[in-house]
Amino acid sequence: MPETISSSIANFRPELALALTFIAAMIMEFAARGKGRLTGAVVLAGFAVALALMPFSPAGPERIFSGMIALDPFSVFFKYFVIVTGIVIVLFSFQSQELRRDAPRIGEYFCFIAALTFGMTLMAGAANLLMIYIAIELVGISSYILAGFTKSVRRSSEAALKYVLYGAVSSGLMLYGMSLIFGLMGSLDLVRIHDVLARGHAITTGWSFATMMIGVVLILAGLGYKISAVPFHFWTPDVYEGAPITITAFLAVASKAAGFAVLIRFFTVMFFDMYTTANVRASFSGVNWNLVLAVLSVATMTVGNFIAVWQDNLKRMLAYSSIAHAGYLLMGVVVSSDSGIAAVLLYFIMYFFMNLGAFYVVMAVADKIGSEHIDDYRGFGKRAPTVGVGFAIFLISLTGLPPTGGFVGKLILFSAVVDSPFLWLAVVAVLNTVVSLYYYARVLRNMYLREPLDGDISPIRFRPAVVVTVVLFIIPNILFGLYFEPLVKWTQASVAMLLPGA
């Protein structure tokens, strides 16, 4: 079918629904000032419509809007992921006492959630450097605002400011890198760039090669910032700690996923030889990008895990832990074979349940006792048995012990790496897992092994809604640890990407 604007729009319905949600939410916010939660309901409804429209778009692979956006099973997976995460975050936001207390115009908050989600769905499909940039900027600007949304809280404003500065610098770098690539290749379309490289023009030597290297490294810096890979991670702990916890969870899960979607597409489509069925996709173009990514992966997981050991604020600890998880996820990109990418997707599903569960508990506890400090979790297991068990399960899942979803995610991910020439990377990763146990177990220790500092062992009573939510997150964590057949099938079916020559 020839590609036209109208056929493209027909294939763009979920994104359009999200865009319209954003507009509707803004109008709502003007029309019914002060009824912010109503705006939230509108956003929720809009997300539901977008989700409902998802099955009606073709799975592709197809190009839409002249190849600006790729429609393929890979992007469909991430769109589902992002929209579902958006729905969960909106539901969390309704429950958050922090937002009720410190965020005066909550309606605007929901507007930006819609914009952020829209941006992330664009990131999932962006197949053109320009589109990648626009999508990342849309996500970035929305998240700067959201990170500082509780502006009466000092650390939140500080977080937003740091985030803006880092974001501005890295997107500037990325844009410059893109311009260099454009100058060399004569195109911004990933597929075209692949063709140029594959035809083996004189790019692999001399100044052209150096320029290409600089360009790609600059782009890598921008993407690395998005997924908080070391050494582009410095914003992460401060922003995660300062932002409202719902936003922290959103950034840690959905924004990271969208970042990975772009990163994977960028490397596999541009640099990797897609027509091999080998267990590792080698990069052509003269640079061993697999190795570069492997180094990035090792640095990210090691730094994340080791610094997390020293954290006493749980939000900050989860921030470093999410850096470490980005390192594990990068292993899948290093291998970059179909099984590696499928493993990344599966890991994201598990990560969704364990990480959102953990952030939710931290949020609920902070609302209740007003602290995220590890010492205030002393005796928590006895004071709130159900939520305590839930938190313990989420932490175990994050460590990756069976029988939890986190284990299955790690198993499949390590499998992809063991089955490739990067066996050493798997060894580093499993040793990192042992380090990570230490800081997750520190929380367990405080919850169960220690008595509260002030001797207050009165039960903490959570609202039934909170307990139910925690249980709803426990179930998939255990279930997918024991039975993961459908998930593996789904992720395996979702690796197909819009490829050169397709």
Partner 1 sequence: MQFPILSILTFLPIVGMIIVLLVNKERTRLIRGVAVVTTGVQVAFAVALIALFRSSLPGINEQSSMQFVERFAWITIPQTAWFGEIQIEYFLAIDGLSMPMVVLTALISFIAAVASFSIDKSVKGYFAMFLLLDTGMMGVFCAIDMFLFYIFWELMLLPMYFLIGIWGGPRREYAAIKFFLYTLAGSVLLLLVMIGLYFTTIDPATGAHTFNMLAMMRPENMQSGIFSVVGSTIRMWAYIALFIAFAIKVPVFPFHTWLPDAHVEAPTAISVILAGVLLKMGTYGMLRISFPIFPEFAVFFQKPLMIFGFVNIVYGALCAMAQKDFKKLIAYSSISHMGYVILGMAALNVQGMTGAVFQMFNHGTITAMLFLLVGVLYDRAHTRGLDEFGGVYNKMPVYAFFTVVAFFAAIGLPSLSGFVSEAFVFLGAFQTDKFWTILSTLGIVLGAGYMLWTFQRVFMGTLPSRWENVLPDVTPREIVSLAPLAAIIVFLGVWPSPALNFMTTSLDHLVRFVKTSAEASQALLMGM
C-beta of 208 vs 386, nearer to partner 1: 386
Interaction between residue 382 and partner 1 (CB under 8 A): yes
Exactly one of 161, 169, 419, 460 binds partner 1 (CB under 8 A); which one?
419
Q: 431-440 burial, b if ≥16 CB within 10 A, otherwise e?
A: ebbebbbebb
Q: At its nearest, how many Å lie between partner 1 and the CB of residue 126? A: 25
Q: Is 441 in the site for partner 1 (CB under 8 A)?
A: yes
When the beta carbons of 454 and 485 are compared against partner 1, the nearer one is 485
HEC assignment per residue over 161-221: HHHHHHHHHHHHHHHHHHHHHHHHHCCCEHHHHHHHHHCCCHHHCHHHHHHHHHHHHHHHH
- In this complex, which beta carbon is closest to partner 1, that of residue 37 or of residue 382? 382
Nearest-approach distance from CB 444 to partner 1, in angstroms: 8
Residues 323-352 that bind partner 1 (CB under 8 A): 337-339, 342
Listed ranges 65-73, 369-377, 426-434, 463-471: which one lies at the site for partner 1 (CB under 8 A): 426-434
Please give the Cα distance from 254 to 84 (Å, whole number).
9
Which 36-65 positions form the footprint of partner 1 (CB under 8 A)?
none
Binding-site member from 192, 445, 460, 478 for partner 1 (CB under 8 A): 445
Helix, coil or strand: residue 452: coil
Closest CA to 311 of 439, 400, 415, 424: 439
- Residue 69 in tokens: 């956006």
Least Cβ distance, residue 302 to partner 1 (angstroms) = 15
Query: Over the Cα atoms of the chain, what is R_g?
Result: 22
Question: Of 236, 53, 19, 229, nearest to 122 (Cα)?
Answer: 19
Strand partners, 283: 272
Dihedrals phi, psi of 173, to nearest 5 degrees? -60, -45
Question: Which residues, other chains included, contact 6 with Cβ-Cβ below 8 Å and sequence gap of 6+?
Answer: none
- Binding segment (CB under 8 A) for partner 1, from list 66-74, 316-324, 411-419, 470-478: 411-419
Among 176, 209, 284, 448, binds partner 1 (CB under 8 A): 448
Shortest distance (Å) from residue 280 CB to partner 1: 12
* In the complex, minimum distance from the CB of residue 401 to partner 1, in angstroms, rounded to a whole number: 5
- Report if residue 415 touches partner 1, rule: CB under 8 A: yes
418 binds partner 1 (CB under 8 A): yes
Please select the residue that binds partner 1; options are 31, 165, 309, 449, rule is CB under 8 A: 449
Range 151-210, binding partner 1 (CB under 8 A)? none
Q: How far is the CB of 268 from partner 1 (least distance, A)?
A: 14
CA atoms within 13 A on the CB side of 346: 32
Q: In whole angstroms, give the CA distance from residue 130 to residue 137.
A: 11
CB of 199 to partner 1, least distance (A): 26
Shortest Å distance, C-beta 457 to partner 1: 12
* Residue 431 interacts with partner 1 (CB under 8 A): yes or no: yes
Point out which span in 85-93, 157-165, 179-187, 427-435 binds partner 1 (CB under 8 A). 427-435
Place of tokens 């979702």: 494
484 binds partner 1 (CB under 8 A): yes
Q: CB–CB of 235/171 below 8 Å?
A: no
Q: Which helix (H) or strand (E) holds 83?
A: helix 73-95
Q: Of the two residues 248 and 446, which places its CB atom closer to partner 1 in the complex?
A: 446
Amino acid code (one letter) for 274: M
Contact between 217 and partner 1 per CB under 8 A = no
Size of the site for partner 1 (CB under 8 A): 37
Instruction: Report the site for partner 1 in 259-288 (rule: CB under 8 A).
Output: 277
Minimum CB distance to partner 1, residue 423 (Å): 7
Q: Is 373 left (phi over 0), alpha (psi -120 to 50) or beta?
A: beta
- Residues 4-23, interacting with partner 1 (CB under 8 A): none
CA distance 295 to 106: 42
The answer to whether 485 contacts partner 1 (rule: CB under 8 A) is: yes
Q: Which of 411, 467, 478, 479 binds partner 1 (CB under 8 A)?
A: 411
Out of 423, 457, 468, 475, name the contact with partner 1 by CB under 8 A. 423
**What SS3 state is found at 135?**
helix
Give, in order, the Cα–Cα distances in Å from 90 to each of 39, 93, 109, 113, 376. 11, 5, 10, 8, 27
CA distances, 276 to each of 271, 336, 484, 500 (Å): 13, 11, 27, 13
Give, as ranges, the residues between 391 and 410 that touch partner 1 (CB under 8 A): 396, 401-403, 407
Helices within 281-384 (DSSP H only): 289-308, 314-335, 338-369, 380-383
Residues that bind partner 1 (CB under 8 A): 277, 337-339, 342, 382, 396, 401-403, 407, 411, 414-415, 418-419, 423, 426-427, 430-431, 433-434, 437-438, 441, 444-445, 448-450, 483-485, 488-489, 492
